[in-house]
Amino acid sequence: MSEFAVNTPWVSDQSTIARWIASHLRRHMWLLWVMFVGAFGNAALAAVVPVLVGIAFNAVLADPVDIRLVGLAALGIIVSQTVRAVLQLGRNFSSAVVGERLEKDMRQELYISLLGKSMTFHDLQPVGDTMARATNDVHELNLMMYPGINLVVGSLNFMLMPLLFAPRYDWQLVFAPLFFVVTYILALIRYMGTLDPVTERVRQAFGEMNSRLAEAIDGIEMVKSVAQEPAEIERFEVNAQEYREATVAQGRIEARFLPLLLLGITQALGFAHALLLFRAGRVDVGDVVAYMGLLQLFGFPTFISLTAYSRVSLGVAGARRVLELMRQETQLDENVGGYQGVINGKIEFEGVMFGYADSMSVLQDVSFVVQPGQTVAIVGQTGAGKSSLAKLINRTYDAGNGRILIDGRDVREWNLAALRRQISIIEQDIFLFSRTVAENIAFGCPEATQEMVEAAAKAAQAHDFIMNFKDGYETKIGERGVTLSGGQRQRLALARAFLTRPRILILDDSTSAVDSATEDQIQQAIVQAAQRQTTILITHRLSQIRWADLVLVLRKGRLEAAGNHDTLMQQSPAYRRIFEQYEDEQLSR
């Protein structure tokens, strides 16, 4: 399921890590063929050099010396290595392009997946760890392709050439290359089996370290306000030490992988065998020289093995972490074929129960009805479930039990995008993007004209302070609106909501940071907007509570009472206590 889906020109297979990577690679088959052909041609032409050197060696030892054959051998080396350089360029270029495209496509797929996850997922998933997976882990897939797989494919072709060319001198000379290939593969299997869990630990440790960093920076104001910088540094050092130890453990395993020893044994065995065949008259001197040159080709897979296979292992570990994130289930579905009509504004809760976790109940058996165009005030002590109730209306979360109906239809029957486009929620903690003022106001309505943006800002009492900025509506504000005061952020959020002309407007204590005069002006704008929409106010402002058509009193997740202000003052002791508390708070200010 997904809250948000995009039609992409490809569909990846996420059943296993190998299939997921392969499904992306298949989109670039012609580049992969260039890489494979280039790798084979590079290795084959590298093997041509010792063969031609052997021929030239025999030509020099001949009586008389065959200068013409020596010249042809030299020319052959020049031509073959020129062609080899072109093939190697194609191989490296194609693998590098595939690596970059792989990173781009997988990062885009992850980004789309993250946008489609429910709020429950985002509440539980650390932002720093998500960023580590979306940046560093995805980049590891690029490095896995180039230089990783590029070098692996090249080394496999280099290992193949001695097996193909050695029998041309004597079939028995295949034994030494065969010994190297078999022992190398066995050693590699053991090496990768030991390395894989360690590289997984490296990527995990990096994610945890990044998560701690993001958390500390996001809460830097709190850290500084209580002078906890040394404690945060100490906590970060623990994570950094874990990452270091994991990396060192990876280095130890790499250091114990000694293919160089296998190369030395292979060359010794091959040279001894070739000399025995020479004494038996089965090969000549030039053949021995060529054969030893062929065995030198094993030097390439020997010396690149540490770099290439560790890059592949890190890439697989990164792919595992990225795919793990994308596979995590979301609780909401966008319901593409759902109802997409215009909302009139009737809201019904029928025995609704909800909790952010199965063991924690926030709302219990809540039932009420709001008629189209009504203004509803939701009141209650902190933690009573007011904000949670509001977030169920636009399906930020789904109710565990019971039903929520909009215009008589269960919210699950609505197309999610159509539902949310007609409902605006303004929370107390306002989020603004690091963009211009105009772009922030028009975020939910990108097609809005400048006149529409300014009209919404005027209705939210934001136009005057915006015009005091040097660049007016083109002023770029800091991330999360840190360059603005709390009241300014709230008024921009109100302007954003007014611009979308929602059918249901939910204000979650959204005027708490403005002064009384500005609040009165904003309330007048809300009153005017309320004539064409259903308005829900989560508030402790007495003026807003009195103005509401319906007041809902929540206590410990239950609906304690419902009615207008006058009725509740007479009939509900719980409401009177809350109202008197709010009155005392405002008088004390």
Which tens digits make up the pLDDT trace of 164-214? 999 999 999 999 999 999 999 999 999 999 999 999 999 999 988 988 888
Question: 268, 300, 327: which is the final residue of a domain?
Answer: 327
In a domain, 65, yes or no: yes
Q: pLDDT tens across 25-58, in order?
A: 999 999 999 999 999 999 999 999 999 999 999 9
Same domain for 166 and 51: yes
User: Rounded to a whole number, what is the distance in angstroms from the first to the last CA of the chain?
Assistant: 48
407 domain residue, yes or no: no
CATH number, residue 304? 1.20.1560.10
The count of structural domains within the chain is 2
Mean pLDDT of the region 473-487: 77
Of the chain, the percentage scoring pLDDT greater than 70 comes to 94
pLDDT of residue 2: 66
In terms of domains, do 446 and 316 share one? no
Q: Which residues, 6+ apart, have CB-to-CB distance to 58 below 8 Å? A: 284, 285, 286, 287
Dist. CA 532–CA 546, nearest whole Å: 20
Q: Whose CA is closest to 436, among 460, 422, 457, 417?
A: 457
Is there a domain that residue 96 lies in? yes
Picking from 399, 432, 393, the residue whose alpha carbon sits closest to that of residue 416 is 393
480 pLDDT tier (thresholds 50, 70, 90) = low
Residues linked to residue 536 through DSSP beta bridges, in sequence order: 376, 506
Residue 562 in domain: no
For residues 511 and 65, which has the higher predicted lDDT (pLDDT)?
65
**Is 71 a member of any domain?**
yes
Q: Which of 469, 501, 533 is where one domain is finished?
A: 501
Q: How far is CA 137 from CA 13, 202, 205, 307, in A?
A: 19, 11, 12, 17
pLDDT of residue 358: 67
Whether the per-residue pLDDT at 456 is higher than 60: the answer is yes
pLDDT in tens, 337-351: 899 999 999 999 999
Same domain, 321 and 443: no
Q: Of 327, 355, 385, which residue constitutes the final position of a domain? A: 327
Report the pLDDT averaged over residues 361-382.
Answer: 91
Distance, CA of 102 to chain centre: 14
Higher pLDDT, 330 or 189: 189
Residue 421 within a domain: no
**Residue 368 and residue 40 in contact, taking contact as beta carbons nearer than 8 Å:** no
Residues 458, 320 share a domain: no
How many CB atoms are closer than 10 A to CB 173? 25
Residue range(s) defining the domain that contains residue 488: 431-501
Could you give the CA distance from residue 489 to residue 483 in angstroms, rounded to a whole number?
9
**Mean pLDDT, the chain, whole residue set:** 89
Q: Tell me how far apart the alpha carbons of residues 537 and 376 are, in angstroms, rounded to a whole number.
A: 6
Provide φ and ψ at 117, rounded to 5°.
-80, 150
Is 454 within a domain? yes
**Window from 77-81, 158-162, 230-234, 480-484 with minimum mean pLDDT:** 480-484
Query: 475 in a domain, yes or no?
Result: yes
Q: Let me know whether 314 and 459 are in one domain.
A: no
CATH number of 463's domain: 3.40.50.300
Q: Are residues 440 and 307 in the same domain?
A: no
Give the integer Cα–Cα distance in Å for 94 and 88. 10
Query: How would residue 587 be classed by pLDDT, with cut points 50, 70 and 90?
Result: low
Residue 512's pLDDT is 66
- Distance CA(321)–CA(137), nearest Å, equals 7
- Do 315 and 436 lie in a common domain? no
Question: Which residues does residue 534 pair with via DSSP β-bridges, in sequence order?
Answer: 504
Residues 84 and 223 in one domain: yes
Instruction: Please report the sign of the dihedral spanned by the C-alpha atoms of residue 502, residue 503, residue 507, residue 511.
Output: positive
